[in-house]
Amino acid sequence: MPTWYADAWKLPKEERAKLRSKTFDGIAKNIAVQFTCFIKSGLNLSDWNKLHVSEKNRIFAEHL
């Protein structure tokens, strides 16, 4: 178990809830990049899901 998670149990309930709701550094940015690349690709979700990961990576590189 990560230390930050174990240490959170020592906090009051309200502070634990606040800590659980935080997004780790970089995760929100990466999600935004993925969605932006998907939208810019012009593909629908069905077609996007059929793409091989190497093709998705090519699209990511193209739009970054």
Structural domain for 28, as ranges: 24-64
In a domain, 54, yes or no: yes
Mean pLDDT across 50-62 = 92
Q: Does 64 score more than 80 pLDDT?
A: no
In a domain, 56, yes or no: yes
In a domain, 5, yes or no: no
Q: Does 1 score more than 80 pLDDT?
A: no
> Hey, what are 31's tokens?
């999600």
In a domain, 47, yes or no: yes
pLDDT tens by residue, 5-53? 788 888 898 888 888 777 777 888 888 888 998 999 899 999 999 999 9
In a domain, 19, yes or no: no
The pLDDT, as a whole number, for residue 17 is 85
In a domain, 7, yes or no: no
In a domain, 11, yes or no: no
In a domain, 59, yes or no: yes
End-to-end CA distance of the chain: 35
**Number of structural domains found in the chain:** 1
Q: Which residue, among 63, 20, 14, has the nearest Cα to 38 in the 3D structure?
A: 63
